[in-house]
Amino acid sequence: MSIVKRGTTYHLRKRVPRRYQPVEDREFILLSLHTDSESAAKLKADTIWRAMIDGWEAMMDGDTQDAEARMAAAKELAAKRGYRWMPGGKVAALPLQDVLERIEAVGMGKDKRPKQIEGEALLGGAAEDKLTVTTALAAYWSIEAIKTAGMSDDQIRRWENPRKKAVANFVKVVGDKKLESIRTEDLFRFREWWVQRIIKGEAKKSSANKDFIHLVAMLKAVARARDIELKFNTEKLNFKQDEDGSRPPFSVA
């Protein structure tokens, strides 16, 4: 990672990879890291560069005609530019100064015309496609990327696996529903599936609760980031743990 000091502040200076030349006109990136500490600059530079790579990848993905990929790319790119993605109608309803800031943030291409992909991202031009539970999980990795920053590959794997398991179990029982169509009855249908497994001695309450916690946290994080209204209640979803963690001293029968 290349960092240079200009005055009292460190900057990130790095050549744009050839892969991203179709979506990035600059040959070099020069960004202030807003710190006079070299060690802090190195840490920030790595995180910022990975964020820029993610942004370019989102722009590259935006070249596809697939509506879901285009929508996800637009939202990710808006986030990388420091804006929350909104549908075009909501952007138009913002205060005039906010709308103008978004318009001015849209980059110009080599043809001296605004970049379509950035316009869709910042001005809400991409056609929205509904997120399902499985596509929401894919979006979740990017939304919560800060939680795995600095982790080793093995640590990331151990962090991701319980969440993958919770989603896989839910989809197996309830189906790959769209986020806004999930209802309280769906969660309790999932809970009943765990009840049967617990009664048969195939699982523990703690395992079920972990699935509930990971699943609901993922759904809420993605819904918050994507401006989706969830319509379910999680009250009394979790199982109460036995005080000593042991089985009752009598058979299931």
Per-residue pLDDT reduced to its tens digit, 121-160:
778 766 555 789 998 998 898 888 888 888 888 999 999 9
3-class SS of residue 18:
helix
Band the pLDDT of 67: cuts 50, 70, 90: low
Looking at residue 217, its amino acid is A
Band the pLDDT of 219: cuts 50, 70, 90: very high
Percentage helix, strand, coil for the chain under 3-state DSSP, each rounded to 5: 55, 10, 35
Per-residue pLDDT reduced to its tens digit, 11-38:
888 888 888 887 777 788 787 777 888 8
For the chain, the average pLDDT equals: 82
pLDDT of amino acid 33: 79
Per-residue pLDDT reduced to its tens digit, 222-241:
999 888 889 999 999 999 87
Q: Which residues, in sequence order, are CB contacts of 171 under 8 Å at separation 6+?
A: 133, 134
Both structure tokens of 240:
């109460």
User: 10 Å Cβ neighbour count for 87?
Assistant: 15
Q: Return d(Cα 36, Cα 25) in angstroms, integer.
A: 29
Note every long-range contact of 234-237, with CB atoms under 8 Å and residues 24 or more positions apart, other chains counting: 234/184, 234/187, 237/187, 237/188, 237/191, 237/212
Closest to 186 in 3D by CA, of 176, 196, 198, 195: 176
Q: Which residues, in sequence order, are CB contacts of 18 under 8 Å at separation 6+?
A: none
CB 43 within 8 A of CB 68: no
pLDDT of amino acid 243: 42
pLDDT of amino acid 230: 93
pLDDT of amino acid 244: 43
Per-residue pLDDT reduced to its tens digit, 95-119:
888 888 788 777 676 666 777 767 7
